Amino acid sequence: MTISTAEAWHVNGIDFYVKATVPPAGIPTVAKLLYLHGFAEHVDRYSEQFEVLSSRGIEVFAFDQRGAGQTSREKKKWGMTDENMVFLDLEEIIRRKVGPEVVDDKTAIPWFMMGFSMGGGICLNYAIKGQHREWFAGYIATSPWVLLHPRTRPNPIVYQILLGISKAFPRFQYFTGLDFEFLSRDPALAQRVRDDPMCHATGTLKQMADTFDRGRKLLDNTYSSNFVNRAVLIIHGDADKIVSYDAAKDFFDSLQITDKTMITIEGGYHELHNEIEDDRKKFQAELTNWILEKSGAKADESLS
């Protein structure tokens, strides 16, 4: 049985909820994963995914980001972050968690960074501009927020108005109107999200403006040419109606590194880790075996 522990880390003036899921007794750790969750959610939603990984020897360390989850439970704190704080927080957590294991920019047990949706966009940007991007053996983005899907994307005129307002009122909070039915083909998921008070789909104008800009930058070939020379995996459902599958594919195609893989889950929606069983199992197998392969460990055929 895997073991999960949670604690509070004081970082940049606030207490972060951090969670570690480690392999059960008798299963050696072959890789470690730093996980970044998506917009307006929290890491306790990933228990099944983390247990699958840790049961195969992949230790997972995750945290609720500033403005979300148990790090920012009070409504007045929802979405209270921006581009600068996102990466200041991430750098400090990396220094504290990964840093002690680094010798000459390498770790004895390889570390990977993974992000979902908004977290996927943060992950890919870190591989381009992160201070310690060479500490990681690989980067994984699932359903990364490069651009929103046309069904979810705001009207360009409305967006420009919001962008202008965000400069004057950056901390203004608003409900984004996210359609939970687009998260998964599992009909029970949308209701579980609605019932979860920490999945409030609320952000600030500054947070959202910075998230849009962060994604668009990935399509700038000059910017993305600085991507660190590490293995990359992108997994995306081609029926995602939250973020654009085509934009993620454009980014992947333009990426100027050789060790890159993009896996398409046909018919998959946004939250592949919460999809219908067959697709969820396929996602778990592809993810786990890629990490095992890049770690030099044997793939787990029982997942296929």
Express each pLDDT in 21-62 by its tens digit: 999 999 999 999 999 999 999 999 999 999 999 999 999 999
Among residues 44, 240, 244, 279, the one annotated as catalytic is 240
Catalytic, 200? Answer no
- Given a cut of 70, whether residue 301 has pLDDT beyond it is no
pLDDT tens-digit map of 176-224? 989 999 999 998 998 999 999 999 999 999 999 999 999 999 999 999 9
pLDDT for position 167: 87
Catalytic residue among 37, 236, 270, 273: 270
Q: Among this protein's residues, is 117 annotated catalytic? A: yes
Confidence at residue 299, expressed as pLDDT on a 0 to 100 scale: 66
DSSP string, the chain: --EEEEEEEEETTEEEEEEEEEPPTT----EEEEEE--TT--GGGGHHHHHHHHHTTEEEEEEPPTTSGGGG-SGGGTT---HHHHHHHHHHHHHHHTGGGEETTEESSPEEEEEETHHHHHHHHHHHH-TTGGG-SEEEEES--SSB-TTTSPPHHHHHHHHHHHHH-TT-EEE----GGGS-S-HHHHHHHHT-TT---EEEHHHHHHHHHHHHHTT-HHHHTT--SSEEEEEEETT-SSB-HHHHHHHHHH---SSEEEEEETT--S-GGGS-HHHHHHHHHHHHHHHHHHTTPPP-GGG-
Contacts within 8 Å (CB) and 24+ apart, 278-282: 279/185, 279/237
pLDDT per residue as tens digits for the range 257-277: 999 999 999 999 999 999 999
The whole-number pLDDT of residue 116 equals 98
Nearest CA-CA partner of 144 in 127, 115, 123, 120: 120
In 3D, which of 187, 257, 204, 164 has the Cα closest to residue 77?
204
Residues 113-162: tens digit of each pLDDT: 999 999 999 999 999 999 999 999 999 999 999 999 999 988 888 778 87
Mean pLDDT for the stretch of residues 233-256:
98
pTM (predicted TM-score): 0.96
Question: Can you say whether residue 296 is alpha, beta or left, with left for phi > 0 and alpha for psi between -120 and 50 degrees?
Answer: left
| Of 303, 295, 240, the residue nearest 271 (C-alpha) | 240
What's the per-residue H, E or C state across 259-294? CEEEEEECCCCCCHHHCCHHHHHHHHHHHHHHHHHH
Q: What is the mean pLDDT of residues 93-108?
A: 93
Catalytic residue (one of 54, 72, 117, 143): 117
Q: How many CB atoms within 10 Å of residue 158?
A: 10
Determine the pLDDT at residue 162: 79
How many residues are given for the chain? 304
Give residue 304's pLDDT band: very low, low, confident or very high (50, 70, 90): low
What's the chain's average pLDDT? 95
pLDDT of residue 92: 98
pLDDT of residue 108: 93
Fold entry, domain 3-303: Rossmann fold (3.40.50)
Q: Averaged over 228-250, what is the pLDDT?
A: 98
pLDDT value of residue 198: 97
